[in-house]
Structure 1
Amino acid sequence: MIQLKIVVSGKVQGVGYRYYAQMKAIQFGITGWVRNLEDGGVEILASGLRESLDQFIDEIRRGNPFSTVDHVEVTEQENTETYKSFAIKY
């Protein structure tokens, strides 16, 4: 299992982006969480198999019809926690 920290910037708050990320994570068997950041971006912690994570990142870059993704920063990190599902953090 690989764990990634993903920071997404653009018009990604108030447009259902976290729900979109959750739906795509479930579709690709990704576990972890998504949350809004104070600067208007979204942070995602995603764990899964490389192929699934690559597909997930492609969808995250695309965004939902109401969002505009300007930049996606992906950082691989040490897998310190294990998640059983993909949650939206409030």
Structure 2
Amino acid sequence: MVNVRAHVFVQGRVQAVSYRWWTQRRAQSLELTGWVRNLDDGRVEAVFEGTKKNLEKIIEKCKTGPRFSKVTHIDVVWEKSTGEFESFEITS
């Protein structure tokens, strides 16, 4: 199966609520690679690589987020997979 990439920006109450840790655990369970990080403007940014089916699953999960988060908007940019990642990491 061909892998694709989703570049995702999540807006709302998504910092200081374990959103990055939560995202990493779900990405790993779906065998996705990439990274997630906080942005200075309060959003969370993530890059996921994997099958389109699993990327669609993680995007749906990101719309809800962990218990204390409140997602108000998600932007997704679909891109070609580069295969540059070996795992899914939390970055600064």
Question: TM tier, shorter chain?
Answer: over 0.9
Shift of 1:78: 3.0
Aligned-CA RMSD value: 0.9
TM-score (norm. length: structure 2): 0.93
- Assess if the C-alpha contact under 8 Å between 2:49 and 2:83 holds in 1: no
Work out the CA distance in 1 between the residues paired with 2:34 and 2:65.
18
TM-score (norm. length: structure 1): 0.95
Name the residue aligned to 2:57: 55
Instruction: State how many pairs are aligned.
Output: 90
Runs of 4+ with deviation above 2 angstroms:
78-81
The secondary structure found in structure 2 opposite 1:19 is: helix
| Deviation by residue 1:59-78 (Cα, 9 ceiling, x = unmatched) | 11111101000001000123
Please list every run of 5 or more consecutive structure 1 residues that lacks an aligned counterpart in the other structure: none
Mean CA deviation greater in 3-12 or 72-81: 72-81
The secondary structure found in structure 1 opposite 2:84 is: coil
Work out the CA distance in 2 between the residues paired with 1:55 and 1:9.
18
Please list every run of 5 or more consecutive structure 2 residues that lacks an aligned counterpart in the other structure: none
Work out the CA distance in 1 between the residues paired with 2:62 and 2:25.
11
